[in-house]
Amino acid sequence: MKIRTVLALLGGLLAIAAREARAQDTPQARYEKREVLIPMRDGVRLFTSIYLPRDRSQRWPILMRRTPYGVRPYGADAYPQLLGPHAAFDAAGYAFVLQDVRGCYRSEGQFVNVRPHRARKTTPQEIDESSDTYDTIEWLLANLPESNGRVGMWGISYPGFYAAAGMIDAHPALKAVSPQAPVADWWYDDFRHHGAFFLAHAFNFFARFGKARREPTSERSFPFAHGTRDGYAFFLGLGRLVDADERWYGGDVPFWDELLQHDTYDEFWRERNIVPSLKKVAPAVLTVGGWYDAEDLYGPLAIYHAIEQQNPGIENALVMGPWVHGGWARGTGEALGDLHFGGPRSLEYQRDVELPFFERHLRERKELPPPAEATVFDTGALQWQHLPRWPPADAVARPLYFRERSTLAFARPEQSSGDLRDSFLSDPAKPVPFAETISVDMLREYMVDDQRFAARRPDVLVYELPVLEQDLVVAGPIQVELWVSTTERDADWIVKLIDVHPHDAPETPATRPGRTMSNYHQHVRGEVFRGRFRERADKAVPFEPKVPAFVRFPLWDVLHTFKKGHRLQLQVQSTWFPLVDRNPQRWVEHIHEAREEDFVRATHTLHRSALHASRVLLPVRGAR
């Protein structure tokens, strides 16, 4: 036989062997699938997919995820490519339980967005996500003799909320829970940032997710057709927000109107705030979030702190990495936009934190150490910090004042006379864009993007510290305290914290073509506050024209080293479009009902005298 023929045969045999090896490594080869309807205490049945290891030489821990997004693929012979949080879980072997929550896809019952928790339940008809989790676990323990009796939960985003809700009044078998990017309070997460409406995100999310379900189904929603790629133009032409459901959704998204009608922090929002209910939490908790999560930055921080304060003595840990929404589970985490983070940060977290956390508690592997109380990534120094608490005990709030000639200083202004203010004209017809990139979406990169385009606009105030002579480490929650006035009776206030790179900054591997890190204005943190809620969140109060008023709000937490040779910058503006809906500036009771003629130009002023000293409180490590 010729050598060429022998090699061809050998190659064919190797290809067949490789295919067989891959087949043995598929979920179908290693797991048996069951689809069941699990009855809840009120008789409603929840559709649940169960994936059991075919290896029955041992009993397996249960790892569960509850979701409103569907447990596709449906069908006894249909398997997803991944069952657990990442591939190492599938290889380790768990009994994976994936469940459609009430009213979603194939589950029975009525769906309620961020279903409120019931602290007291006196009848079987009084249910919440905590009781549905409890009943599911009870059924699993009774019907899965293949399990070792220990249960864990995880979930990202909306499923992160269900993970958090499930650990309240937890079933004794629930040993470890990881809420990841969880919704905590929609007044701060996702859609209502201090009363300001996150327009592009809400519109696009509910276009896909919010359509009313007629009956249990396997069908999924499809993206909305905007008719243009230019989101700035599309949302300028959206029309009155109150008309959007009928005009754009065909009247098929009922929650859109609920979202708009509750435009103050009323009972609707208060009962959807899970934070006060996070009591009687017995399992170990690993809360995970991303510093660049455009959807749920508030959630993981609030849930971590609530568990810490309301459940003394339990294992409670926080992870905050250089990630977008769910970025720790998607990709390697090496880069975002123009930034490079110095390594595969997602893979490090998966290997060093997430898998050991569940292995320790669900297999009782006590040789694995618990995670640090706070595993947090410094987005300026590009390294992990492992801290005994968050925020760090040595972080001291230092007031940074807005000063003359577009400067910042840690010294309070002394002069009380003169025109110690800066003003700009805000035109709702030409709002400041939130990003340079043209898109119909809430771009995930906006939280790190170069802000030079905004700094060059006349309706954005820019202030800077001198070039830093040593590193400045900001670690913890940032508080904004502004004295402002306006010629009209309403205004939004946006403050952005910027790291300005030096002119000789080296390029990074992630820098996109045509971009440069020279003088790059890196967005570190930004937030919006709707000025009508400066006195109280549940009642709108107009400004008195031209009279200084005090506005105070959090920028939330950061861990960022402003390195020697860089500059710290603050930008102040009043529009951020179409990330945030436009404030008409003329007073209207309900902004979602504003007509086009209500949108008027106004002059907004930032005051910076000794009497009206605007400032930002920075938590600085090593402050003298």
As a CATH number, domain 395-621 is: 2.60.120.260
Are 161 and 181 in contact by the 8 Å Cβ rule? The answer is no
Angle, CA of 614, 622 and 624, to the nearest 5°: 65
What are the angstrom distances between the C-alpha of 96 and each of 140, 151, 152, 168?
Answer: 11, 10, 10, 21
Residue 7 pLDDT = 39
DSSP helix/strand/coil, 19: helix
Mean pLDDT score, 277-288:
94
Mean pLDDT score, 86-100:
97
b/e per residue, 48-59, with b = 16+ CB within 10 A? Answer: bbbbbbeeeeee
Residue 16 pLDDT = 41
Containing H/E element for 385? strand 383-387
pLDDT tens string 148-165: 999 999 999 999 999 999
Lowest mean pLDDT among 18-22, 91-95, 494-498: 18-22
Are 115 and 59 in contact by the 8 Å Cβ rule? The answer is no
Q: Are strands 521-530 and 492-500 parallel, antiparallel or unpaired?
A: antiparallel
Residue 624 pLDDT = 60
Q: Could you give phi then psi for residue 48, rounded to 5 degrees?
A: -140, 130
Residue 460 pLDDT = 98
Are 510 and 335 in contact by the 8 Å Cβ rule? The answer is yes
Mean pLDDT score, 343-361:
98
> Which pLDDT band holds residue 14 (cuts at 50, 70, 90)?
very low
Q: What is the amino acid identity at position 312?
A: P
Sign of CA dihedral 185, 189, 195, 197: negative
> Which pLDDT band holds residue 417 (cuts at 50, 70, 90)?
low
Mean pLDDT score, 83-104:
97
Q: Are strands 472-486 and 383-387 parallel, antiparallel or unpaired?
A: unpaired
The burial of 244, by beta-carbon neighbours within 10 Å (0-12 exposed, 13-18 middle, 19 or more buried), is given as buried
> Encoding tokens for residue 459?
């309706």
Share of the chain above pLDDT 90, in %: 89
Containing H/E element for 571? strand 567-573
DSSP helix/strand/coil, 56: coil
* Domain locations along the chain: 25-185+272-387, 395-621
Share of the chain above pLDDT 70, in %: 95
The burial of 12, by beta-carbon neighbours within 10 Å (0-12 exposed, 13-18 middle, 19 or more buried), is given as exposed
Q: What gap in Å lies between CA 557 and CA 562, rounded to an integer?
A: 15
Radius of gyration over every alpha carbon of the chain, rounded to an integer in angstroms: 26
Mean pLDDT score, 234-262:
94
Hunting for tokens 């205490």 — which residue is that? 41
**3-state per-residue secondary structure call for 496-512:** EEEEECCCCCCCCCCCC
DSSP 73-89: SPSTT---S--SSSHHH
Q: What gap in Å lies between CA 205 and CA 201, rounded to an integer?
A: 6
pLDDT tens string 440-493: 999 999 999 999 999 999 999 999 999 999 999 999 999 999 999 999 999 999
Q: Is the pLDDT of residue 6 over 60?
A: no
Q: What gap in Å lies between CA 445 and CA 426, rounded to an integer?
A: 25
- Could you tell me which of 450, 491, 481, 619 has the C-alpha nearest to residue 553? 481
Q: What is the amino acid identity at position 129?
A: E
Mean pLDDT score of the chain: 94
Mean pLDDT score, 509-522:
91
Residue 168 pLDDT = 97
Region class of 271: left (phi > 0), else alpha (psi between -120 and 50), else beta: alpha
> Encoding tokens for residue 280?
């009687």
Q: What is the amino acid identity at position 206?
A: F
Q: Is the pLDDT of residue 393 over 80?
A: yes
Are 409 and 203 in contact by the 8 Å Cβ rule? The answer is no
Angle, CA of 304, 367 and 30, to the nearest 5°: 85
pLDDT tens string 572-596: 999 999 999 999 999 999 999 999 9
Residue 9 pLDDT = 47
Are 228 and 440 in contact by the 8 Å Cβ rule? The answer is yes
Mean pLDDT score, 191-199:
95
Instruction: Please tell me the pTM assigned to this model.
Output: 0.94
17 or 570: which leads in pLDDT: 570
Q: Are strands 174-180 and 147-156 parallel, antiparallel or unpaired?
A: parallel
416 or 431: which leads in pLDDT: 431
DSSP helix/strand/coil, 576: coil
Q: Is the pLDDT of residue 36 over 50?
A: yes
Q: Is the pLDDT of residue 4 over 60?
A: no
Domain 25-185+272-387: which topology?
Answer: Rossmann fold (3.40.50)
Q: What gap in Å lies between CA 587 and CA 620, rounded to an integer?
A: 39
DSSP 340-364: E-SS-HHHHHIIIIIHHHHHHHHS-
DSSP state of 531: G
Q: What gap in Å lies between CA 512 and CA 516, rounded to an integer?
A: 8
